[in-house]
Amino acid sequence: MGQLVFCARGYMKKIDQVMIDTGDTVRHISTGETWLVACVQGNDLSWCGWPEGYAKVNDCELIRKAPPEERLAMLAETGGQQFQLDAKQLLTIIAACVPVPNKHAIESIQTIEQRANQHNESHKPKRHSTEEIVAYLRVKEAREIVNAVNMLKGGEK
């Protein structure tokens, strides 16, 4: 069995240093069934399709790791429905999956803030740390992903 590790989405099984996550393909060890993972929360995963159901991450083995863009699209599309995630929880999960912003994007915000408050005076808008800027950019990207998926869903109707 794999080792359990804690990350932003809770405990997930590590298999050869790779965790099972949304969009991955797994085999349920006791039944031999192959599933596409819809969502992972804690040590539980739900699969896509009917009937809906849940299994322990520990009871599954990874067959195919989904590329990041596939995982993000599935998270945005399903919205964590199986686990009834609220919008803020879903946004946090997607933001954690978004790649770290490039150096240019971070430096551009730092430059704007530097110009607005050269001496970091308390009565002017606060200058943010690099970590705060990275978090802001990741959440912004996550919002754009969710909005794009919602627009596509609206267009399908």
Q: Which regions in the chain score pLDDT beneath 50? A: 1-17, 156-157
**Domains of the chain, residue spans:** 4-94, 98-156
Q: What is the pLDDT of residue 73?
A: 74
Return d(Cα 35, Cα 19) in angstroms, integer: 15
Global pTM reads: 0.51
* CATH tag for 4-94 (out of 3.30.70, 3.30.200, 2.60.120, 2.30.30): 2.30.30
Query: For residue range 96-105, what is the model confidence (pLDDT) as tens digits?
Result: 777 888 999 9
